[in-house]
Amino acid sequence: MAQTSQRSAQEKPVVIGLYGVSGSGKTTLLNQLKRTLNDEHFLFYEGSQVIDEVTPGGLAQFKGWSRERQVTSRKAAIDSVRTACIQSKKAAIVSGHFSFFEEDDEKVGSPVITKDDLDTYTHILYLNVPAEVLFERRVGDSTRDRPFISTEDLHKWQEMEISQLRPLCLENGILFMCVALGPDLQSRVTNLLHEFRLNSNDRFNLERAKACLDIIIGDKPPLMMLVLDADKTLTEHDTGILFWENFVPSKVKGASLKDIFGSKLGYSYAAFCQAALLYEESGDDPEFDRICSEVAAGVSMYPEFVCLLHRVAEQEHVRAVVVTCGIKRVWEKVLEKERLSGIVKIIGSGRIADGPVITGCVKGELVRYLQNKYHMKVWEFGDSQLDMEMLKRADRGIVVVGPEATRSKSMDAALVEAIECSGIRLKQVVLPPTTPMRLDSKRLPLLDITGADFMDFVPFPSPPSIQLIHATEKNAAKLLMTQMRNANVAGPHLCRAHMSVGKYLATEFLSDVIGVEEYSIPHVLGHQTSGHQLYHESQTLIVAVMRAGEPMARGVWESFPKASFLHLKSPEDVKPHHV
């Protein structure tokens, strides 16, 4: 509890900048938001008024100062906003200026945004108003004395601000979005502000993702879940690249997914939030849906996965869910095209309305959630480093290897680290089947998801039933049972006889029923070699039914020393945290 409180205290307050050139409607929008938003959650500031309040002599005195001296008041202004947010535990909306038009020189001056502004803002919304509309507003504004600026110069001014602000925000970890003019401007901005306030940290986002998974599972959880990535896993295509390169190449200037993920944000939660805002800029909802339809029309799933997922539909105790960092709406349409929309549900990213932001970390946590809450076996299919958390945590992980030209270039190194350093056991499926494999078949064994052996690797379970396996007629069993029945064998010797039976049953039968897996061991000659252990031995629980069953259970435990050991009197004593 103390750690949670400490973390909350250290979190950066949400401060949202409302920017745009003079005449874009910042003040008007800010006043509208004051009337419609709940002041229980938001503070509202007009930047010039805050400067007026913190400057000795007010705004008039401030305007007569040198640019260097003005920075002092600008710093005091934004610091006062940040302090108010921390004290009130509210988010702030601040209208501000990136630059001003200098009348004497008839040109735009250098940026006035300060380092303190960039350290404080968490988001900046830029009102992207057409230059023609800006010109008409400024000419018709009788409340202010605005200098004459031509439509062409207004356009250049706006382009300059956007082209400089966007990379500046990316460099400083500020989420940036251009907001287009429209009749629903206020409602769109209102929705964004609520989203910024609520989803400012990854913990809330993760809970949203878990809630989506709960809805998908419903009240009848399956015994096993296939969790699949989408782009470059179910198909060789990357729908995000197709979306931007082929369909909206000029909609958002100076920005791309490559810019975002190639920045210092990397593949962080903030980076994926910025990507979601980029999709928000691509057009209104009908336009976005149209583009998604065009992208989906050009995407074909691997036929092997289509067959597998249709087979899942026939199973009562197995289900499949796609968890993707890509565009959820595109993949809904792709699955619909393959007649899989009613079979496979999707948790994915895209625009804000699409739900939680999916990151590599969220993917891994969702696998853990399925295992811990629903006690499911999870088989995961993924292709890139963003899937490594899922692949590591899944009961069985399968790396999908596509054509060399399109596959992830950094995945080999991640796989080597996971396999050789962390001891993770994975398999690979190459699609199309003629595709060169990753690494080699020893470190990453091949798997054919259409072959008969796939049934051994990913079993489709039947409803739970009791299976009796016994060694009654085996000579080894007769020898072991003699010691247990002999009245002359008692005390510690009888306990050892029961332990021997446990060891025999474990090595003879359980190794076949559960299976074994390779792991690295030191050879007597000094090098490393391969040994075998019970499959997922460290995740196995051995239960000793007291008191007679304890020695035999210890014999099983001696064969599988990495397993957990539990004493109990009845089945009800096994609690969820034990498994």
The helix (run of H) or strand (run of E) holding residue 566 is strand 564-568
Inform me whether the pLDDT recorded for 9 exceeds 50: no
Helix, strand, coil distribution of the chain in percent, nearest 5:
50, 15, 35
Kindly give the pairing relationship between strand 101-102 and strand 377-382: unpaired
Can you give the pLDDT at residue 294? 94
**pLDDT digit string, tens, across residues 200-216:** 888 999 999 999 999 99
516 - beta bridge partners? 534
Instruction: Please classify residue 41 by burial: count the beta carbons closer than 10 Å to its beta carbon, then call 0-12 exposed, 13-18 middle and 19+ buried.
Output: middle
Q: How confident is the model at residue 4 (pLDDT cuts 50, 70, 90)?
A: very low
Question: Using CA atoms, how far apart are residues 365 and 205, in angstroms rounded to an integer?
Answer: 12
Q: What are the tokens at 4? A: 């949670």
Two tokens, residue 62: 């401030």
What is the spatial distance between Cα 245 and Cα 288, in angstroms, rounded to a whole number?
15
CA distance linking residue 176 with residue 94, whole number of Å: 14
Give the integer Cα–Cα distance in Å for 402 and 408. Answer: 9
Residues in the chain: 579
Q: Are strands 318-327 and 345-349 parallel, antiparallel or unpaired?
A: parallel
> C-alpha distances in angstroms, 495 versus 472, 508, 552?
20, 20, 8
pLDDT given for residue 400 in this prediction: 98
* Strand pairing category for 107-108 and 101-102: antiparallel
Q: Per residue in 414-465, pLDDT tens? A: 999 999 888 899 999 999 999 999 999 999 999 999 876 565 555 555 555 5
Please give the sequence-ordered ranges of beta strands (E in DSSP) within 190-317, or none if there are none. 224-228
Query: Does the pLDDT of residue 104 top 70, yes or no?
Result: no
Q: What is the DSSP string of 99-122?
A: --EETTTTEE------HHHHHH-S
Domains in the chain, CATH or no CATH each: 12-198 (3.40.50.300), 223-237+300-457 (3.40.50.1000), 475-578 (3.40.50.2020)
Secondary structure E strands in 25-83? 42-46
> What pLDDT sits at residue 86?
96
- pLDDT for 458 equals 56
Which pLDDT does position 329 carry in this prediction? 96
More confident: 91 or 530: 91
Q: Which residue has the tokens 């950094």?
A: 410
- Amino acid at site 106: E
Can you tell me the distance from the alpha carbon of 192 to that of 360, in angstroms, rounded to the nearest whole number? 24
Going by C-beta distance under 8 Å and a sequence separation of 6 or more, which residues neighbour residue 178? 126, 128, 162, 252, 281
**230: Cβ contacts below 8 Å, ≥ 6 apart:** 239, 322, 324, 326, 331, 334, 346, 348
As given in the structure block, the two tokens for residue 407 are 């596959």
Contacts of 268 (CB under 8 A, 6+ apart): 359
Cα dihedral sign, 20-24-27-28: negative
pLDDT top residue among 466 and 197: 197
Strand, helix or coil at 529? strand
Q: Rounded to the nearest 10 degrees, how much is the dihedral formed by the CA atoms of 232, 233, 234, 236? A: 30
| Whole-number percent of the chain with pLDDT over 90 | 62
pLDDT digits (tens, 9 = 90+) for 28-73: 999 999 999 978 899 999 999 999 999 999 999 999 999 899 999 9
β 318-327/224-228 pair status:
parallel
Residue corresponding to tokens 């239960």: 543
Interior angle at CA 282, CA 277 and CA 286, nearest 5: 115
Contacts of 511 (CB under 8 A, 6+ apart): 534
Q: Is a pLDDT exceeding 50 seen at residue 3?
A: no
Residues 6+ apart with CB under 8 A from 436: 404, 430
Alpha helices, DSSP H only, in 403-453?
411-416
User: How far apart are alpha carbons 50 and 31 in whole angstroms?
Assistant: 15
Residue 567's DSSP bridge partners are 544
Contacts of 379 (CB under 8 A, 6+ apart): 224, 225, 226, 227, 394, 395, 396, 397, 398, 458
